Structure 1
Amino acid sequence: MSLARHIARQRSHLETLIELLEAERECLAHGHVDGEHLSQLARDKQETFVLLEQLESQRVTAQRKLGYGEGRLGAERAAQDAGCMQDWQTFRERAQHAKQLNQLNGVLVGSRLAQNQRILDFLNEAAGKALYGPDGQSRRRGFGGIASSA
């Protein structure tokens, strides 16, 4: 398989990954997260990551066998000699985009986790203290400083 065809194959799978990352971001951005959908996206992402890693390993092995050095410089020389430098540069740009999407999704997941932890902490605190006195009146002045009476 030519390097150009291999890069095109890698790029096709990379575009699938980008679509999955965008769907994951969309799912995380909603007020109510669909856990099943998010889990399926995670499984699909993992499969795509594994495939991309295999393809990258194949490319690096072929690059080395052809006498090009490993790393970015060797990849650029191989792409230049194969006449597919533009394809390689586009692939690298899309890979950078996927990396940024993945990092953004990580921030969104972290934010969701922190929010859920705050809710759990509040509920644990509320459950650990009697909310009502013997007279049936609330001992707390609202939840978290928010008045519960209108």
Structure 2
Amino acid sequence: MISNEIGFDCRQRGDDGPLEVIACIDGAPLTELIDKFEIAARMQPAGDCYGGLIPEFYRFGPMADHFRGQSTAAPGSKTPVLGCECGEWGCWPLVTTITVTDDQVIWDAFEQPHRKARDYSGFGPFRFERRRYDEALATLTAAEALRQSKPR
């Protein structure tokens, strides 16, 4: 079975702004991967529509739980993995089904909930080795804790 690599890029949004989390798959930001897919599929609008998630703005719960599909803020059965480029995840989210087993984590059934007619069946699925996925989440949790401990 082919396994993708996962990482989470944690960056400050703007000058002294909040923490923004962008998933990276096989070294590429998810924002770039979805832009390329939507542009190639001639979806409109497409390109520069997505941004990372901003935990400080929303009640996702711990990001490690969120990226295991156990978010306290996710509507329905899918989990937001990207928000709008404006910083509001509800404005233009990319959502997916996150399935966690003992051995792997799978992201599939991607959807742009504001454009139900869009076909994302060619995007993903992404399969991650569970141990490495958990390591990436531990790194994300540490970055989140460090950010929260800094005075603003």
What TM-score, normalized by structure 1, do the two folds share? Answer: 0.31
Greater strand proportion: 2
* Higher relative contact order, chain-length normalized (CA < 8 Å, sep 6+): 1
Task: Pick the structure with greater CA Rg.
Answer: 1
Greater helix proportion: 1
What TM-score, normalized by structure 2, do the two folds share? Answer: 0.31
